[in-house]
Copies of this chain bind each other. A is one copy, B any other.
């Protein structure tokens, strides 16, 4: 029969067919050295012939290592995260790891549920990006597991390693660029209050203004959902209330696109009347009109770095527990 119902070939079947013990089979599939080349070759041929594939489940039970990781993101449909995921997944696969991807929909309870799901499956490690959970809920959930890495969020080394983009500096670069072009009434269209990055942006924004001797007015800082509808709504309302604004620094590129749409709706020209700067440099940023000036973040590198640190942690090395990637301002048409 060409296709078998289920692959029920076990290590015992292989052992029997090869006339050796299960132990010997175990040794060849694990590449142990203490083996005669002859038996190794023979067992290998039997494995091949039977189409035997070791069960990770059984191995996991025996070794308490599942070679499986978890990646928790707010929304894989948000263009920032697929790149992150790709960077992490590619690196994971190179090392023989599979990765569970969980979406939280920006909801703290879903995030906790995702961490439970991953813990139940005994993943070897977890990457949590852009967590929306407060530390006192997040940390205990992570401490149950073997290893964790946080993306864009700090944590004590005992809990997790961290990878992040220097968002405060990115925002500083954006503000500096706008001020250099003569803009004077800058607004910050920021993300969720539960986002650490949002806090960093606010910090960098205030600091950059202060350096220039400008007082940051609180009414020029608003928060919104981190997508283009959120950006549209926030900017539409803000520009109506504060018509003097001549520049918008946005939480991410999607928000910036929403800002572009709001400007169009209000018949404000970009960049002549108001300049717009995004963040992340997703594909979209270069393709909208006007093309977005934005703070570029290497998302794949971020994912790969997270995976690096995670594997190091799993291996017991917690030395370089934090990594910070520098963002770069990409000047295009919108500012």
A interface residues, Cβ below 8 angstroms from B? 2-4, 6-7, 51, 53-58, 60-61, 66, 68, 75-79, 81-83, 85-86, 89-90, 93, 98-103, 113-114, 116-122, 139-140, 143-146, 158-159, 228, 257, 283-284, 287-289
**Residue contact A120 to B55, C-beta cutoff 8 Å:** yes
**Residue contact B118 to A89, C-beta cutoff 8 Å:** no
Q: What would 8 A/B residue contacts be, using CB atoms closer than 8 Å?
A: A6-B146, A55-B61, A57-B66, A57-B121, A79-B283, A93-B113, A100-B101, A287-B287
| The one of B55, B82, B139, B289 that contacts A81, using a Cβ cutoff of 8 Å | B82
**Residue contact A56 to B103, C-beta cutoff 8 Å:** no
**Residue contact A116 to B53, C-beta cutoff 8 Å:** yes
What are the residues of chain B within 8 A of A85 when measuring CB–CB? 76-77, 101
**Residue contact B146 to A117, C-beta cutoff 8 Å:** no
Please state the number of chain copies in the assembly. 2
Closest B residue to A158 by beta carbon equals B3
**Residue contact B81 to A93, C-beta cutoff 8 Å:** no
**Residue contact A4 to B144, C-beta cutoff 8 Å:** yes
What are the residues of chain B within 8 A of A66 when measuring CB–CB? 57
**Residue contact A100 to B102, C-beta cutoff 8 Å:** no
**Residue contact B3 to A55, C-beta cutoff 8 Å:** no
| The one of B55, B83, B287 that contacts A257, using a Cβ cutoff of 8 Å | B287
What are the residues of chain B within 8 A of A159 when measuring CB–CB? 3
What are the residues of chain B within 8 A of A158 when measuring CB–CB? 3
A51 to B145 Cα, complex, angstroms: 13
What are the residues of chain B within 8 A of A51 when measuring CB–CB? 144
A3 to B53 Cα, complex, angstroms: 37
- A120-B55, A284-B284 given as contacts; is B4 within 8 A of A143 (CB)? yes
**Residue contact B77 to A103, C-beta cutoff 8 Å:** no
**Residue contact A58 to B61, C-beta cutoff 8 Å:** yes
